[in-house]
Amino acid sequence: MTSSSIGAQGRSDVLVIGGGVLGVCCAYFLREAGKDVLLVDQEDIVAGSSYGNAGLIVPSHSVPLAQPGVVGHALRWMFNPESPFYIKPRLELALLTWLWRFRAASNARRRDRAMPVLRDLILASRDLYRSFAAMDDMDFGFEERGVLYLFNTEKGLREGEHEAELVRTIGIETETLGKQEVDDRLGVNTTVVGAINYPQDTHLTPASFVRALATRFQAMGGKFRPNTRVEGFERDGRKIVGVRTSKGTLEADEVVLATGSWTPKLARDLGIKAPIQAAKGYSITHRRPEGVPEIPVICAESRVAVTPMGDTLRFAGTLELAGLDLSINQRRDEAIRRGPPAYVPEFDTADMELIEVWAGLRPVTPDGLSLLGRSPRYDNLTLAAGHAAIGMSSGPASAKLVTQVITGEERFMDISLMDPGRFG
């Protein structure tokens, strides 16, 4: 990605901070609405969590992480170094407050309130991806083949059916399949007891999408500056009047904060509470051998997603609350590889060419809803952060809403539950 030629002290209508799926989609829609937009990133386009994720666009994930029973599960897993969910024990006020809020949000009433919001964001994003995929210069491997949740235990299948029942209450389609139907669909001989297909789920290659949209944004006259780290803000009452960066101070009428897991630090400087914890996950990408299924699956008991992306195959999983730490824990990497062959023998990676092992940080709020909309403290600051494990799925529609907030257009859905001021 090339940087634009504007001077270091340039002024724009909107400054978007963060070059992940959220920031790039915001920059694109704002430019499309006629704004002069400058996008900056401390590194480059798609340097964060939007790079190596599983690429699943999943109405099936319209249930927030905070839900009844999850705290008990988490406590059981916490002490197992290979478990799919882990909290690194540390006495940090931000983590303890976050856990307290997470526990408070883990009930049926809060979950049921959040679900339609997540569904609407994800379905609207899927429609936006569909229209992007129809554009000539936007090749990002968008495929509408559903996602199969595979189960290799009866208990797992029962839990999966319970979850399917829940999402059916908000209109998401589901289809329960027996082993033979699963084998027929995937074209392999699996060892599962059954599966649930979510036909509205889709998939794509995430980095290809974000890069293609950033290129399109620049072709439309949008400006991008890489290696420009935001370090602080200059304020005048309820207005941000300057943004201090490693490359000098930038000025803009409007500022959008789309910095994923790095948001709390910048928000603190502004006196805003943004309780986002970084939830680390890994992905392992291999060259896809002949005969490996072309439909994405989630190996439910192991909690590992397997996504075909062009001629590659990506395994993704684990959720570790360990702070802003991107180190790769070998035992978890091995646990991710070990899970999927217990469902589909073709997923054994022993003879597959390895392309990349990657770690990324999901920006997770305690109640599973992002911080989306105007800041309560500043008239010219809008937040677009905290999209947790569904930022690819809900990013484009969230960015459309950010654009509608800034241009004053009517919003296509109610965003009050995502109010960035709800944590004080």
Q: In 105-208, at which residue ranges do the beta strands (DSSP E only) sit? A: 147-151, 175-178, 194-198, 202-203
Q: Which of positions 183-242 make contact with ligand FAD (CB under 6 A)?
A: 229-230
Residue 172 binding ligand FAD, by CB under 6 A: no
Q: Report d(CA 380, CA 364) in Å as an integer.
A: 24
Could you say which residues in the range 19-48 bind ligand FAD, by CB under 6 A? 19-23, 40-43, 47-48
In the block, tokens 């969910």 appear at 85
Phi and psi at residue 141, to the nearest 5°: 65, 35
Interface with ligand FAD includes 285 (CB under 6 A)?
no
Using CB under 6 A, which of 15, 16, 53, 383 touches ligand FAD? Answer: 53
Q: Does 339 contact ligand FAD by CB under 6 A? A: no
C-alpha to C-alpha distances, 198 to 72, 115, 211, nearest whole angstrom: 27, 16, 28
Instruction: Choose between 15 and 192: whose C-beta lies nearer to ligand FAD.
Output: 15
CB of 74 to ligand FAD, least distance (A): 18
Q: What is the DSSP letter of 353?
A: P
**CA 46-422-261 angle, 5° bins:** 20
Nearer to ligand FAD, 117 or 266 (CB): 266
Query: What is the C-alpha separation between 192 and 150, in angstroms, rounded?
Result: 7
Q: Which stretch binds ligand FAD (CB under 6 A): 167-175, 323-331, 360-368, 399-407?
A: 360-368
Q: Would you tell me how many other CB atoms lie within 10 Å of the CB of residue 319? A: 20
**Least distance between ligand FAD and beta carbon 360 (Å):** 3
- Contact letters for ligand FAD, residues 361-400 (x by CB under 6 A): -xx---------------------x-xxxxxxx-------
Residue 59's beta-bridge partner residues?
none
- Is position 274 an interface residue for ligand FAD (rule: CB under 6 A)? no
Question: Do β-strands 304-309 and 175-178 pair in parallel, antiparallel, or remain unpaired?
Answer: unpaired
One residue of 12, 49, 277, 302 binding ligand FAD per CB under 6 A: 49
Q: Does 18 bind ligand FAD (CB under 6 A)?
A: yes
Q: Please identify, using beta-carbon distances, which residue of 87 and 189 lies nearer to ligand FAD.
A: 87
Between CA 123 and CA 217 the distance in angstroms is 23
- Least distance from C-beta 97 to ligand FAD, angstroms? 21
Task: Candidates 182, 258, 272, 278: give the one binding ligand FAD (CB under 6 A).
Answer: 258
DSSP 135: S
Q: What is the DSSP letter of 357?
A: E
Q: Which of residues 15, 54, 214, 309 is near ligand FAD by CB under 6 A?
A: 54
Selection from 275, 290, 225, 313 nearest residue 5 by Cα: 225
- Indicate the angle between helix axes 391-407 and 108-133, nearest 10 degrees: 80
Quick one: 156 or 360, whose CB is closer to ligand FAD?
360
**Smallest distance, Å, CB 314 to ligand FAD?**
9
At closest approach, how far in Å is the CB of 262 from ligand FAD? Answer: 3
Task: Please identify, using beta-carbon distances, which residue of 371 and 406 lies nearer to ligand FAD.
Answer: 371
Question: Concatenated DSSP letters for 302-336?
Answer: TTEEEEEETTEEEEEEEEEE-SS-----HHHHHHH
Of 261 and 403, the one with the shorter C-beta distance to ligand FAD is 261
The contact set with ligand FAD (CB under 6 A) reads 17-23, 40-43, 47-50, 53-56, 229-230, 258-262, 266, 281-283, 316, 360, 362-363, 385, 387-393
